[in-house]
C-alpha cells in the first residue's frame, strides 16, 4: 500500500505559484494525513525540463554537458 511507503509528491501547476503560506500548509497537511511518509516538493523548473531529461535517458548513456546545458537553460 502506498500509504505505508515513502513517495514523492510533486506539486505542479499555476495554483502552486502562490505565496500564500496558509494555502501551502493546508495542502501539505492534507497530503500528510493521507500519505504520512510523503516527500512533498514544489516544482521549481518548467515541466519540459523533466521531459527533456527523460528523453536523454532514453538515448542511453550519460551526457553531462547536455544535461548541464538543459538545467542552465530551463532552471
Whether 28 contacts 40, CB under 8 Å: yes
pTM as predicted: 0.67
pLDDT band at 61 (very low <50, low <70, confident <90, very high): confident
Q: Is the dihedral of CA 57, 63, 67, 69 positive or negative?
A: negative
Average pLDDT, rounded, for the chain = 91
H/E element holding 6?
Answer: none
Cβ pair 16, 43 in contact under 8 A: yes
Per residue in 4-36, pLDDT (tens digit) is: 889 999 999 889 989 999 999 999 999 999 999
d(CA 39, CA 62) in angstroms, rounded, equals 27
Amino acid at each position: 500500500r502506498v500509504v505505508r511507503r515513502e513517495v514523492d509528491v510533486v506539486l505542479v501547476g499555476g495554483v502552486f505559484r502562490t505565496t500564500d503560506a496558509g494555502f501551502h500548509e493546508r495542502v501539505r497537511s492534507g497530503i500528510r494525513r493521507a500519505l504520512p511518509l510523503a516527500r512533498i516538493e514544489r516544482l521549481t523548473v518548467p515541466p519540459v525540463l523533466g521531459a527533456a531529461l527523460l528523453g536523454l535517458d532514453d538515448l542511453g548513456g550519460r551526457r553531462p554537458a547536455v544535461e548541464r546545458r538543459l538545467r542552465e537553460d530551463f532552471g
